[in-house]
Amino acid sequence: MAPLPLQLEIQGNQSHFRFDVPGAFEPRLEPVWKDAADPPEITEVREVWEIPGARLVASDGRPETFWKEWRAFLARLRVRGQGFPLWVRLVRDPGGAAQTVWTLGAPDHERFKIEELSASSDELAPTATWRILAPVTLVVSAVQRFADPNGIVGWDQEVRSSYDAGGLHALEWQTTLTTREGVDAVDKARRFGRIDIAPFGGSYSYATNGPDGVEVVTSDADEPNQRTPTSCTVLSRIKQWGVHVGTTSPGSSPTEVGYSVRTRAAKDERSTTYRATARGPGALAWVEGRRPGGPIETAEVLHEEAIRYAEGTWVVKEPAPDQPDAPEGVRWQIQAEITGGHVDFDFEPVVGGFQPVLFEGAILPWRLSLTLKGRRRGGEGKPEELKLPGLLSSPWLLDRNASREKAPFVAEFGADPDSHLWAREASLVYWSASKPTGSPAAQVRAAQPVESYYL
């Protein structure tokens, strides 16, 4: 399943300014020093957000609305004193639940600044640039109000952002800090050196998945004498996965996950194997949550409690459909029933103990009843994804009043939306005055698929 979209909101006067955030952003912390102290002490930490490629899009898609909103945004930035924006925030899934996941500004921050605003062109939408959208790079910052920042006398932080071969994101903070004597550097490192995973969504997990979400190396430790450490290096790392992990805090969900679906098609049977693996806290619960729906041929779950590893394998078998529609990925079962084409007759009862009288009528037309059942795994269940077999040509005539078609529906729920089994069905009635010359079922398979019969 793909990750939920992010939107950046900047405080406005009556309504807020909203920017789409198409890519990952990289927050960082910058300390401010009190040089008069001996030794020098850190007095505050400024939090900085840099968002490249943010898009201000016209609310109604019209150029005149875009320019009106763009000018209003620039005017907002030129306000001096009261009326200047006091905060920005990140909203996850703005078109759905609209959850605010991270706020930079009041009441937890002060001295909010928009440090940079630069605009360019959008390579993904060049014709829309400066017509209905403006791609910009925003750099905003504010001072975070820590509960007890005093005692830190040295701070150095590196931020690494990378992507693997599968396009999955990894973010790492490495922070080295020192404190004055008597102030626990490890405690400060755990508080200020951990990445907040909430803005990144449920597809991320902590690679440093301890109870504090960090790894700490103390360089002046003296455990036998119980010395309070004053120098340490802390590492915090999060990683993105292609499936939903559900991480809310460090040490509460798996560190590593895996999920695969393998389908094997034989002549008379199709076998689908689902495999889920997880390592870390809650590994077994995560694996069991990936159990597919519907009848299962075999199931196997492995749980190694000593190393917090779980693995589940489920095999689902079903009969192979009659004929696949390769371009659409739909497999159809087609049943045909033909009647008529003979002289109609009837018996008329006669009173008085006589035998019924046979009456012969006209030649009946040929009648064809088609039952169509299609299946497709994955997708969104749209009609264009489950196209119906095409209509028959002459001499057959479709009886639209007697025919029916159904909209796509879920026949079997999978572990995630991408593995749902979608179905579509139709029953058609045709008439013909002349005897058919070929197989109707073969003609239906050869016809051009359509999205609907428009009955």
Encode pLDDT of 103-128 as tens digits: 888 777 878 888 888 887 777 777 77
Total residues found in the chain within this entry: 455
In one letter, which amino acid is 174?
Q
- DSSP assignment, residue 450? B
In this prediction, residues 174-202 reach a mean pLDDT of 89
Give Cβ neighbours of residue 47 (< 8 Å, ≥ 6 apart).
Answer: 27, 28, 29, 30, 104, 109, 141, 142, 143, 144
The predicted pLDDT at position 16 comes to: 83
Per residue in 332-387, pLDDT (tens digit) is 888 888 888 888 888 888 888 888 888 888 888 989 999 999 888 888 888 888 88
Q: What is the pLDDT of residues 89-107, one digit of tens each?
A: 888 877 777 788 888 887 7
Q: Where does residue 277 fall: left (phi above 0), alpha (psi -120 to 50 degrees), or beta otherwise?
A: beta
281 and 251 in contact (C-beta within 8 Å)?
A: yes
Phi, psi of 336 (to 5 degrees): -125, 140
Confidence of residue 284 (pLDDT cuts 50, 70, 90): very high
Question: Is a pLDDT exceeding 70 seen at residue 281?
Answer: yes
First to last CA, the chain: 35
pLDDT of residue 280: 95
Question: What's the confidence (pLDDT) of residue 209?
Answer: 94
**DSSP per position, 119-155:** E---TTSTTTBTTTEEEEEEEEEEEE--S--TTEEEE
